[in-house]
């Protein structure tokens, strides 16, 4: 208890004050605490830190800055780490199957640490893609004062012979080499320069999409999603967390008061305006289920129908998040969208103020900026995310169509049971202009783990086929993927979805204006094929992936495992 004010150590006092908890107190004294510390609120600082990934390698340092700020605010900072997965490193391998599952592991880990140790508040420090939703899901489960500090975006790389490069281009360099567009020496030079240091992948990929969404929801301090990882602004943000957490504790502001249907609509709106990753759909569905807030696939379509695609950001555009930071960052974009009436300004945030109040002192986007287009001249008058239905995806699929690739595509299917098979077929020259590549048995149960298809899209783009080949999958896509792509096909092949019944040569039509994805195959023929189909055994028979496959819900429900 802090004097005559509100009780800040609501949870930790269960361990630090009763005489019967003497053994608990003895162990806390062994960590260096003093008797006076037993009266202070304890703040768990959960960093998804590990050395083997640029997105995460600096998070321990940031958590140290946060701890110092927390203790300057008269609180105790208790740091811990969570398991993470590098999506970029594991792409195209069986290791990628652990990526989406890691979201649940992160949520479980943070919930476990907070619940077991009775910390009074939580500061989550995520870096790579699944870190962000996993951290927020833990906060919603616990419903204690909490905020997110994003580890920050990486700076853009530069290669003398290729120009600007980033991780997305790195995935395309091999395809460019196979197509004879660059030399092997250029490929090697490019991958050596693509990632110049700490920070998450720089375009509007999943990490920056989800950090922006979390800021729009009000669960991080202003500018958190656009402050680069290695900037002085990121360090100052970390030091300011202490006073922000103390304010949350004093006013007992909880995640359940901040994450509402309206704030989630703000998050989706910003994600669509920025041209964000299709993983936004998957993760927002999971967050909504954790929060107990109704959210369906069609809600994304409704927002996409009214919100224009405005941001000239990679992978489809020219700029990266570090460039957006220079012209005003995420708050300036939010202020722009607020003025245009696209977002709700009355939502509470972790500052204790509403979004409108936070944005009232934010400078507008700079006059000379080229990243955010005016409403009168959007990249696309509606959003880039389309929810499609048809006999290929009776429960829905998620398309990422910026308009640059066109809005409809018809062609014969060429089917592969996994991305490794597709990559081998690509090398054999099987994939031709006009085809619809089908990669199946890659869903949440089928892989298991619903891996991202960045390697296949990188091959297609690198070979110059992005406008001539479509790709559909019951897996998902990295935010770095672009082209004519449709993921999250549901029901998945492993569960007997019609995508399992497709055959080479079936004519498939993908049409964004009518929101359909259909094969020119009769119901009678599909029934005949279904009678001959046999459900394959799960690829995992023990361990984490087996448990995930047994528990995971469909993509249309966010691939959650706890309900």
Quick check: 161 pLDDT over 60? yes
Average pLDDT value for residue range 220-247: 98
Top-confidence residue, 377 or 316: 377
Q: What sign does the CA torsion over 418, 420, 425, 429 have?
A: positive
Q: Above 70 in pLDDT, residue 341?
A: yes
Please answer whether residues 117 and 479 qualify as being in contact, where contact means their C-beta atoms are separated by less than 8 angstroms.
no
Confidence of residue 171 (pLDDT cuts 50, 70, 90): confident
Percent of the chain's residues with pLDDT above 90: 91
Directed axis angle between helix 261-273 and helix 279-291, to 10°? 170
Per annotation, catalytic residue among 102, 478, 518, 556: 478
H-type helices in 73-199, by residue range? 87-90, 97-117, 131-142, 167-178, 184-193
More reliable by pLDDT, 2 or 74: 74
pLDDT bracket for residue 1 (50, 70, 90): very low
What pLDDT is stored for residue 536 in this prediction?
A: 97
Model pTM score: 0.95
- Work out the pLDDT band at 3, boundaries 50, 70, 90: low
Contact 500, 440 (CB under 8 A): yes
pLDDT band at 403 (very low <50, low <70, confident <90, very high): confident
Least Cα distance to 133 among 283, 349, 295 occurs for 283
Q: pLDDT, tens digit, for every residue of 454-503? A: 889 888 988 889 889 999 999 999 877 878 999 999 999 999 999 999 99
CA–CA dist 487, 485 (Å, integer): 7
Cα–Cα separations (whole angstroms), residue 557 to 146, 290, 384, 418, 552: 25, 11, 21, 22, 9
Determine if the peptide bond prior to 91 is cis (ω within 30°).
no
Q: What is the pLDDT of residue 482?
A: 79
Beta bridge partners of 415: 438
Q: pLDDT-based confidence at 259, cuts 50/70/90?
A: very high
Please compute the mean of the pLDDT values over residues 168-179 and round it to a whole number.
Answer: 88
12 pLDDT more than 90: yes
**DSSP per residue, 369-422:** --SBPPTTS-SBSS-SEEEEEETTEEEEEEEE--STT-SEEEEEEEEESSHHHH
Segment 423-446 mean pLDDT: 96
Model confidence at 5: pLDDT above 90: no
State pLDDT tens for residues 517-552: 999 999 999 999 999 999 999 999 999 999 999 999
Instruction: Report yes or no: 312 and 319 within 8 Å, Cβ to Cβ.
Output: yes
Residue 437, classed as helix, strand or coil, is: strand
Q: How far apart are CA 457 and CA 475, in angstroms?
A: 12
- Contacts with 244 (C-beta within 8 Å, 6 or more apart), sequence order: 147, 221, 350, 351
- CA 457 to CA 441: how far, in whole Å? 17
On the question of pLDDT at 2 being above 70, the answer is: no
Domains present along the chain, CATH in parentheses? 41-152+200-359 (3.40.50.2300), 387-557 (3.50.30.80)
Q: Classify 123 in phi/psi space as left (phi over 0), alpha (psi -120 to 50) or beta.
A: beta
478 is catalytic: yes
DSSP line for 281-324: HHHHHHHHHHHT----HHHHHHHHHHS-B-B-BTTTSSB-HHHH
Question: Minimal CA–CA distance to 563: which of 358, 299, 287, 215?
Answer: 287
Q: What value does the mean pLDDT take over residues 47-56?
A: 97
Q: What is the pLDDT of residues 274-328, one digit of tens each?
A: 999 999 999 999 999 999 999 999 999 999 999 999 999 998 899 999 999 999 9
| 123, 276 contact by CB (below 8 A) | no
In this prediction, residues 160-177 reach a mean pLDDT of 90
What's the chain's average pLDDT?
A: 96
Tell me the torsion sign for CA atoms 207, 497, 535, 473.
negative
Q: Is the dihedral of CA 241, 247, 249, 251 positive or negative?
A: negative
Largest CA-CA distance found in the chain, in angstroms, rounded: 76
> Positive or negative CA dihedral for 509, 510, 511, 515?
positive
Length of the chain: 563
List, for residues 63-122, the tens digit of each pLDDT value.
999 999 999 999 999 999 999 999 999 988 999 999 999 999 999 999 999 999 999 999
Cα distance between residue 293 and residue 348, in whole Å: 16
- pLDDT at 49 exceeding the cut of 50: yes
């Amino acid at each position: 208890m802090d004097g005559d004010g509100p009780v800040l150590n609501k949870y930790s006092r269960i361990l630090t004050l009763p005489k019967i908890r003497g053994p608990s107190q003895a162990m806390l004294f062994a960590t260096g605490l003093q008797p006076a510390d037993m009266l202070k609120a304890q703040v768990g600082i959960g960093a998804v830190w590990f050395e083997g990934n640029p997105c995460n390698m600096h998070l321990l340092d940031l958590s140290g800055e946060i701890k110092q700020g927390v203790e300057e605010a008269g609180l105790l900072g208790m740091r811990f780490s969570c398991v993470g997965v590098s999506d970029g490193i594991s792409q195209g391998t069986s290791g990628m199957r652990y990526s989406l599952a890691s979201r649940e592991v992160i949520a479980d880990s943070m919930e476990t640490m907070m619940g077991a140790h009775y910390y009074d508040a939580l500061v989550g420090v995520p870096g790579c893609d699944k870190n962000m939703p996993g951290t927020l899901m833990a906060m919603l489960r616990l419903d204690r004062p909490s905020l997110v500090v994003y580890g920050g975006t990486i700076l853009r790389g530069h290669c003398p012979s290729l120009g600007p490069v980033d991780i997305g281009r790195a995935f395309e360099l091999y395809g460019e080499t196979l197509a004879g567009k660059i030399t092997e020496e250029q490929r090697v030079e490019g991958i050596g320069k693509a990632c110049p240091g700490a920070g998450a992948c720089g375009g509007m990929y999943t990490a920056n999409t989800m950090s922006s969404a979390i800021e729009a929801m009000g669960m991080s301090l202003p500018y958190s999603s656009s402050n680069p990882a290695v900037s002085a602004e990121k360090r100052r943000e970390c030091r300011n967390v202490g006073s922000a957490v103390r304010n949350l504790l004093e006013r007992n502001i909880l995640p359940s008061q901040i994450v509402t249907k309206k704030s989630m609509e703000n998050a989706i709106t910003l994600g669509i305006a920025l041209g964000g990753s299709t993983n936004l759909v998957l993760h927002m569905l999971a967050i909504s289920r954790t929060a107990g807030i109704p959210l369906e696939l069609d809600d994304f379509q409704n927002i996409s129908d009214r919100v224009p695609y405005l941001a000239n950001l990679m992978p489809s555009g020219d700029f990266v998040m570090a460039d957006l930071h220079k012209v005003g960052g995420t708050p300036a974009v939010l202020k722009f969208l607020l003025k245009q009436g696209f977002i709700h300004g009355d939502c509470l945030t972790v500052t204790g103020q509403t979004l409108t109040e936070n944005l009232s002192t934010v400078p507008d986007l700079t006059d000379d900026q080229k990243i955010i287009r005016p409403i009168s001249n959007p990249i696309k008058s509606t959003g880039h995310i389309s929810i499609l239905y048809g006999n290929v995806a009776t429960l829905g699929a998620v398309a990422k169509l910026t308009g640059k690739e066109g809005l409809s595509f018809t062609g014969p299917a060429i089917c592969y049971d996994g991305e490794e098979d597709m990559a081998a077929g690509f090398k054999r020259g099987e994939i031709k202009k006009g085809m619809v590549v089908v990669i199946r048995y890659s869903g949440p149960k089928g892989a298991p783990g619903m891996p991202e298809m960045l390697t296949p899209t990188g091959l297609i783009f690198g070979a110059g086929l992005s406008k001539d080949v479509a790709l559909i999958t019951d897996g998902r896509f990295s935010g770095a993927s672009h082209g004519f792509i449709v993921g999250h096909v549901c029901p998945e092949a492993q569960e007997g979805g019609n995508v399992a019944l497709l055959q080479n040569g079936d004519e498939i039509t993908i049409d964004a204006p009518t929101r359909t994805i259909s094969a020119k195959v009769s119901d009678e023929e599909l029934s005949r094929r279904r009678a001959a189909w046999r459900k394959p055994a799960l690829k995992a028979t023990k361990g984490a992936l087996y448990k995930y496959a047994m528990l995971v819900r469909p993509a249309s429900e966010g691939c959650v495992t706890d309900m």
